[in-house]
Amino acid sequence: MKTARLCATVFFFLACLSLAVPLLAQTVTTFEGIDASQLARPENDIDPNGAVGTKQYLEWTNVYFQAYDKVTHAPVWPSPKVGTSPWTQNGQSMCSSIAGDGYVTFDRLALRWVIGGHNSPGINGTYYYCVAVSSTDDLAATNFKWYTYAFPLNSTLGKNSSGHTYFPDWPKIGTWTDSYYLTFDMLDVDNHYQPIGAAVCAMDRSNMLINASARTMKCLTDPDNPPTSGRYLSHSLIPADVESTTAPPAARAEFLVSIQNPPIDGVTTTSAAINLWEFSMNWANPASATLTNTTLHVPSYTPGCYNLTNVGYTWCVPEPMAGPTGGKHKIDSVGDRIMPRFAYRKFGGYESYLFSHTIRTGTNATNQQVGIRWYELRVPSGSSIPTLHQQNTIKIDTSTFRFMPSIAQDKEGNAAVGYDFSSATLHPGIRASWWNLPNSSTSTEFTLYNGAGDQGDSTIYGDYSSMTVDPVDGCTFWYVSEYFVNNQISTLNWHTRISNFKVPGCN
């Protein structure tokens, strides 16, 4: 049992609320987030994510959330809140069964918290996307409350040839000036949950911020009429999310990115393209909204753990634990998609967008080592469309697998990407790398936290993580991901770790 969120004592001999570790000119502060022992009904696929606000850090794991004071790291509530609580407290019964995939962001332009997740109505029920917007930036304020909304999804999702509604998977939220943008994949429940298309929706941010009735959510899909068969290779769109308190230009549309997976031909394992999507929304005339695609040509890559015979099989990351049929136990790199976030920051003379994903850095299908590919887009002078400005791959050795990244940028143009790591001899743990974007400097890697156990009862190792930047100082990076103290075999015993650090020179 834990009290006052004491740090783990198992292998670092800690008995403290948080640990500050000077390392490579950074001071890394790290403390315990939500863990399985705190939850009445913990899940295996926990999707850890969170965001930093003005006063707290808010974390989500399926299907609970908890906030922590930024200074003391003390939890705001005595125990994690059930993920459905904002809606059930407001009498919205359609959101009484959030089915995972919860997502947290902090609207830096309005200084409000935003959380969301889809419900679980069963195969023939009505899907809703449930969104809650905070009344204040302070989750501990006595007048704090959630403004809650439930948007029906079935008309956007459509149905397969058996009449079953497609499943809204992997939803993500991005903050922009005119809307909150929501993305999700459409999966065929009767065909191994294969992706058949993707949707982008604009939510009425202006009314949601004042607890007014929200206008109907405007959704567009790709393709316009999803097919009833065939795997969609451009899935899992990530919406641009404003990083700082400086707004984009008033006329700037929302952009999104997604991977372009290799064609399924039994031969091709590489791609040299990323999809850039532009969602143009006009709330005065929602019918005029458009979703258009542009191809970004990038250096060739093989998606992490790509498997020619089963392209949905993306687990190849080894752990020290022995596998059930020999060799090492493998966990999922989630290498078939871009990882959140698509982080936007406006500087005095340019606009910058960052995103990242997991790619193969090993030499062939036998050497499946994976690493982190990142990209910076900028909007050229006189243009309204971001283009590729620079990119690079983080590969530091030939044995450690780095996967499931999340990237952000501070006010000085320093980028930091957090990610998980593992190998045949290293338990899964948490690291980060940073570099200066204007100078295109070499990345510096450092450890945030070392795990001491393996995920042994599943290939699942979360689906994503979160890197965000403090909106107050513009310098401090905050990152959350999963780890294990002991091998998880028959009882769920996962932990999460929240870390923060500054890059040298950012004040």
Residue 198 lies in a domain: yes
List, in order, residues 6 or more apart from 72 with CB less than 8 Å away: 17
Residue carrying structure tokens 């971001």: 386
Taking alpha carbons only, the member of 80, 20, 19, 86 closest to residue 48 is: 80
Residue 7 lies in a domain: no
Rounded mean pLDDT, 171-199: 97
Domain assignment of residue 11, yes or no: no
Residue 13 falls within a domain, yes or no? no
The answer to whether position 474 is within a domain reads yes
Percent of the chain whose pLDDT exceeds 70: 94
Who has greater pLDDT, 16 or 274? 274
6 has pLDDT over 90: no
Report the number of distinct structural domains present in the chain. Answer: 1
What was the pLDDT predicted at 115? Answer: 98
Residue 8 in domain: no
CA–CA separation, 133 and 203 (whole Å): 12
β-strand partners of 408: 416
- Do residues 166 and 187 touch, judged by C-beta distance below 8 A? yes
Tens-digit pLDDT profile for residues 214-224: 999 999 999 99
CB 332 within 8 A of CB 459: yes
Backbone φ and ψ of 83, nearest 5°: -60, -25
pLDDT at 7: 37
Range of the domain at 45: 19-119+126-501
Residue 177: CA count within 13 A, CB half-sphere: 14
pLDDT band for 5, please (50, 70, 90 cuts). very low
Please name the residues in contact with 456: beta carbons below 8 A apart, sequence gap of 6 or more. Answer: 319, 321, 329, 487, 488, 489
d(CA 499, CA 494): 17
Q: Dihedrals φ, ψ of 155, to 5°?
A: -65, -25
CATH assignment of the domain containing 347: 2.130.10.10
What is the average per-residue pLDDT within 284-313? Answer: 96
Q: What is the mean pLDDT of residues 444-458?
A: 97
Contact 26, 2 (CB under 8 A): no
Q: Is residue 299 part of a domain?
A: yes
pLDDT over threshold 50, residue 2 = no
Secondary structure of residue 37 in the 3-state scheme: helix
Is residue 464 one of the residues assigned to a domain? yes
